[in-house]
Amino acid sequence: MNVIAEYGNDDIAKVYIASMREGPSSDKFLVEFVESVQPPIPREKKWVLIVSPMFGCPIKCRMCDAGGSYGGKLTTDEILSQVDYLVRRRYPDGKVPVSKLKIQFARMGEPSLNPSVLDAMKRLPTEYDAPGLNVSVSSVAPKSPTATKFFEELVKIKEQLYPGGRFQLQFSIHTTDEARRDDLIPTRKWSFSEIASYGKRFAHPEGGDKKVTLNFAPVEGFPINPSVMRKHFDPERFLIKLTPLNPTVRSKEQSLASAIDPHDNSSSEGLVKAFQDEGFEVVLSIGELEENRIGSNCGQYIQRALHARERPRASYDLERYLVRSENP
């Protein structure tokens, strides 16, 4: 792996672009990975590493800049090399004295379509001396034989290697209208009932597991009805996460507008209360807005922004945040 560009702010988030394979088609084999902190929480308390399981992504979600440039799956070693680069540059001996080291398989690509993600999760506990190791998988829940096998194995890995709340599973929902959800996430995927059935098997909060997260990035014109979620999902096993739709090139091209204003908390109050009235725990996740300008937030993809004719306002200020580059 050869890191060829670096963007960001060490006190918030940094994005790295790396070439994973040499040869005449090496431009197809670029990945991005991220490290971030959550001010005012110091890195020693919480450090998040977000790695890519694929070269681009085949799903093509309408708001995500990683979609539409799919180049295949990374190997287990290629996935772990991203983690190793970030760990060794700060902790060369592999001893990571961080209270919560969270590794997310979520930068580029749908993790459930790459079995190497499972192998990477199996190897992580033996790669480093990291008592605070946690892992996270975020998925759109594709309906395919590969994904089915992935999720079956995931239950075993969670129970054997990441018990006691050290595994976070998240499903991207975005709208409670399943037909409109197909519009945002154009692939065959589990229904709400199928996600609920799996979540009941996966998460056992009474045993210390984290609840399964149902993530919404509310989009204007795409309905969200909390009573629909309550019909399918048990608040004892599922929680709701609400986050603004991040300003990406794709969302601008698709004329998608966030229904949550990150500058105005009142814009989400009604939706938060409606979910709470249905008995759900609700997490309103509005991070550092500077991450949008760095290009490190969910759905952002620096390689698309670099070649876009126009970038969304208040995002991808890449010239300002460029730390080093070897012409990615």
> Dihedral angle at the C-alpha atoms of 62, 64, 67, 69, nearest 10 degrees?
120
**8-17, 63-72, 75-84, 222-231: least confident range:** 63-72
Q: What percent of the chain has pLDDT over 90?
A: 92
pLDDT of residue 265: 84
Band the pLDDT of 328: cuts 50, 70, 90. Answer: low
The neighbour count for residue 324, using CB atoms within 10 Å, is 10
Q: Which pLDDT score, from 0 to 100, does residue 181 have? A: 97
CATH number, position 101: 3.20.20.70
Give the mean pLDDT of the chain. Answer: 95
How many whole angstroms separate alpha carbon 238 and alpha carbon 240?
A: 7
Would you tell me how many other CB atoms lie within 10 Å of the CB of residue 95?
A: 11
Least-confidence region, from 11-20, 65-74, 173-182, 201-210:
65-74
Number of domains in the chain: 1
CA 123 distance to own-chain centroid: 20
Q: Does position 112 have pLDDT exceeding 90, yes or no?
A: yes
The confidence band for 105, taking pLDDT boundaries of 50, 70 and 90, is very high
Measured CA to CA, the distance from residue 136 to residue 34 in angstroms comes to 14
- Reported as a single tens digit per residue, the pLDDT across 274-288 is 999 999 999 999 888
* Mean pLDDT, residues 230-243: 97
131-170: b (≥16 Cβ within 10 Å) or e? ebbbbbbbbbbbeeeebeebbebbeebbeebbeeebbbbb
Q: What is the pLDDT of residue 41?
A: 94
Domain with 18 in it: 2-325
Going from the C-alpha of 255 to that of each of 238, 248, 264, 283, the distances in angstroms are: 31, 11, 21, 26
26 vs 328: CA distance, rounded Å: 11
Report the pLDDT averaged over residues 29-38.
96
In DSSP terms, 38 is beta-bridged to 41
Q: What average pLDDT does range 176-205 have in this prediction?
A: 96
Is residue 25's pLDDT more than 90? no
